[in-house]
Amino acid sequence: MPLPTDLPVVDHHCHLSPLGEGVAAARRFASAGGTHLFLATQNYSNEVPRSVDDYRVQFEMTEALAYKVRAEAGIEVYVVVSPYPVDLVAAAPLLGLTAALEVHQGALDLAGAWVREHRAVALGEVGFPHFDVPTDVRAAADAAFDHVLSVARDVDCPVVVHSADLAPEQYRDLAARARRAGLPPHRVVKHYARARVPPEERGGVAPSYLARRDLVRDAMGDAGPWFLETDFLDDPSRPGAVLDLATVPRRARAIAEASPGGVERLRVPFVDSVKTVYGWRPEMPVRRGG
């Protein structure tokens, strides 16, 4: 069956770049039936950000891409900003660890200001290096993560977490850490989740599942909150990585066609989970054909 015209089709995490496909990729998403993108910022140069102003320029590029996609592809785009957690590792030998942490926390404060000004809807990607780092750098990363939780609490928004894969115990630890900071666990999203963890084992944290066919099939029975994402990188050196931007609408159409109840199950990641985690329902920007 075709996707109903009132059903948002949401890719919860992707990147676009002025050096990549940009709007062309967003048009491909729209042509496949997609309606909403959560667009996460990234470093658009090969230079390590060394100041809060460097991050301001980065965030403004993400915002400009969002405006362009809305205007030219006819879809809704929600901006997600923060310094990438691994930036702290790269900046430490250039600035010294103390100064690098100050820049990182200042950029987190800037991201919080963007949320407060309704220029962004969440802080992300935040989190931890997914590889071994020296003890002092790990401690600095922990301090940065505590800071982002407090910023998110103060501006009342979700955080989108970049980390290694999480087992159930680690989901619960993340939820407990958010609660200690005063941020409800349902405001925490584990981006790039590659294995289904049942709701009762993740402490309220919402996984954003990579939209692989087998994982989407497994997730469909999940009561939520949870999301689907491609983590599309828009990197010319890695075409289509991580998943092509048209993947989520293609998976949605396959689910809708597979069974009569498929459409209602799709409302969990595309409508109900957005309402639970972000506090509002996604509004349809355009009507799609069947």
* pLDDT tens-digit map of 109-119: 999 999 999 99
pLDDT of residue 1: 59
pLDDT at 287: 45
Q: How far is C-alpha 11 from the chain's CA centre? A: 9
Considering its fold, how many domains does the chain have in total? 1
Tell me the pLDDT tens digit for each residue of 191-228. 999 999 999 999 999 999 999 999 999 999 899 999 99
C-alpha to C-alpha distance for 194 and 186, rounded to whole angstroms: 19
- Tokens standing for residue 17: 């770049």
Specify whether the CB–CB gap between 82 and 115 falls below 8 A.
no
| Per-residue pLDDT at 259 | 82
CATH number reported for the structural domain that contains residue 134 in this entry? 3.20.20.140
Q: Answer whether residue 2 shows pLDDT above 80.
A: no
287 in a domain, yes or no? no
Q: Does residue 284 form part of some domain? A: no
If you count them, how many residues does the chain have?
290
52 belongs to a structural domain:
yes
User: What is the C-alpha radius of gyration for the chain, rounded to an integer number of angstroms?
Assistant: 18
- Does residue 259 or residue 96 have the better pLDDT? 96
74 domain-assigned: yes
Query: Are the beta carbons of 124 and 191 closer than 8 angstroms?
Result: yes
Across the beta sheet with 10-14, the strand order is 10-14, 36-40, 76-81, 122-127, 159-162, 188-193, 206-210, 227-229
147 found inside a domain: yes
Mean pLDDT of the chain: 95
Which domain, by its residues, includes 245? 10-278
pLDDT at 286 (0 to 100): 57
Instruction: Please indicate, yes or no, if residue 99 is contained in any of the structural domains.
Output: yes
The pTM of the full predicted model, rounded to 2 decimals, is 0.96
Assigned domain for 2 exists: no
In SS3 terms, the chain reads as CCCCCCCCCEEEEECCCCCCCCHHHHHHHHHCCCCEEEEECCCCCCCCCCCHHHHHHHHHHHHHHHHHHHHHHCCEEEEEECCCCCHHHHHHHHHCHHHHHHHHHHHHHHHHHHHHCCCCCEEEEEECCCCCCCHHHHHHHHHHHHHHHHHHHHHCCCEEEECCCCCHHHHHHHHHHHHHHCCCHHHEEEEEECCCCCHHHCCCCEEEEECCHHHHHHHCCCCCCCEEECCECCCCCCCCCCCCCCHHHHHHHHHHHHCCCHHHHHHHHHHHHHHHHHCCCCCCCCCCCC
Is 78 inside a domain boundary?
A: yes
